[in-house]
Structure 1
Amino acid sequence: MEQHPMPRQITTFEFKLIGILTLKQFIYLAVFIPMGFVVFKLIPIPLLNILFALIVAGGGVAFAFVPINDRPLDVWIKNFVRRITSPTQYTYHKKNPPIYFLKNLFFLSDPHRIMSHIDSQEKLAVYMAKTKSATSAPAVKKQVIANLLQKPNTALAGQKKVIAAQQVKPPVQIQTQPQTMPQPAVRKAFFTGVLKNHKLIPIPGILIYVKNDKGVVSRLLKTNPHGVFATFNPLPPSEYLFEFKDPKNTYFFDTMKLKIEDLNPKPLEFFSKELL
């Protein structure tokens, strides 16, 4: 059998600089053995001085020559102290504040999109019912043909009974009333507007701050990909400041003061004043 060399740990390999000892082993022996001699001289009791001196010197020998699972004794003691002193439970505290242009943001639901989704679901259900009935009819015909081939007498007798029953029973007319779908109420926007540049191209992604006379933001709107913004929640009739901000700092607008009424049928139009 071929012999293969065992892999060795080379990242923590220490060279033997002093005889057969590494630098760390030499330092441990040079520190702990003199300390054991000092302990032997300081303790006057004959047996205790030898015992404590051997413990101190043996500790240095253990630190230098006794690894446990390929780890020196000092690493084990260091990990033990770190484990005892470190916390065992961690609690997450969120400190980052929200982005400035997402504060006081109103999300508006479009009722037309909801009704179109419901309408598409109803159409899909009707289509699936029709396809299911259309696929079940050929299966019934195949079953009747198979019965005729296997048991012709029984199948013919059953058909005669069905024909006789149909002749006896008068046809029943079922009057069905057409189902009327409830018409959803179309929710109208309180006011709408559009933002354009000097080339009359709609500008998407612009933030619109609607402030009252006290400077408090009443609405925070954003233009859609067509440059249109709208709000469905009514505001009390008053004069409001319209401030516009482009997150990309590409377009610039003047602050406009407009009067909002109970009914605002005409859309508002605003134009940017970027450099040509």
Structure 2
Amino acid sequence: MAIQQHPLPQDISSYRFRLIGDMTIKQFASLGVSIVLAIVVYSLPLPFFFKYPLSFIFIVLGVGMAFIPVQGRSLDVWIIAFIRSIYSPTQYVWKKSKEVSEDMSLSTGPLIGTQAVSNARIELSTGTTATPPEPITNNPEPITPPVSITPVIITPNAPLPESVMTTPASVISTDLSADSTPASTPMPATQEPTTNNPEPITPQIAQLPIPFTPTTPNTLVGLTLTPEGKILDGVLVEIQHNGLTSRATKSNKLGQFMFARPLENGLYQILAEKEGFSFSPYSLDLSGAIIRPLKIQAI
């Protein structure tokens, strides 16, 4: 597609009406007011060493405000900024107040119950799927109530003679636990508890900032990784169609990249490039289905 020439942007917000030639209304007013003030001062019954300098100053100020800009700004803007800088504070002091403002006070109202939603583990895949994501069911699993342990209260017996106090600890424990049930034998140390073998989840993959699966068909998102499986940012991801580049972007600080606009159906080649790393190109056939996040890992 040929590059089209666009007109140069123009600042239409700073347009000023021209009164006489290139003189604007503001310039004419500044010059006219200064001349009137100079004539008024000249006509006053003042000594000549006050009259002439003041008249000259008013005329110079009017000409300067009308025709002599300083760094792109007129002289009246500089005078107003100078007066504001004199009366504006230059030091701010923070004082602690006893009263707490409403936006800083903590809310003490009742908490609204929120339902915890467990996010399913996202798997990286380069394949396509035509089925939408499964809805999240709101049927929580039954929670087993905690087992309460009732403490055993031992009532003290009557004081025993000194000869009885020398009884071994094994005899005392036998007296306290004496009942009709025989003592249970301890389990052998060699017995291993039976445990279910869950599906192993790699901690490194679980900690990666995997982008969410897009809801628009033919929309590509993904993650760029190093050969060790770590986040790799600043990777140039390029999508080509029939040998021409159709989209290009760079991965962010989290290694994520996204193409907001969906692509048309067809066969595309995905290329990645970053200095110091090499990536193998691969093809992706789009057919109007939801594409899971892509994993582009350096080799």
Asked if these proteins are the same fold (TM beyond 0.5), I'd say: no
* Structure with higher helix content: 1
The higher-RCO structure (CA 8 Å, 6+ apart) is 2
Task: Tell which structure's C-alpha radius of gyration is larger.
Answer: 1
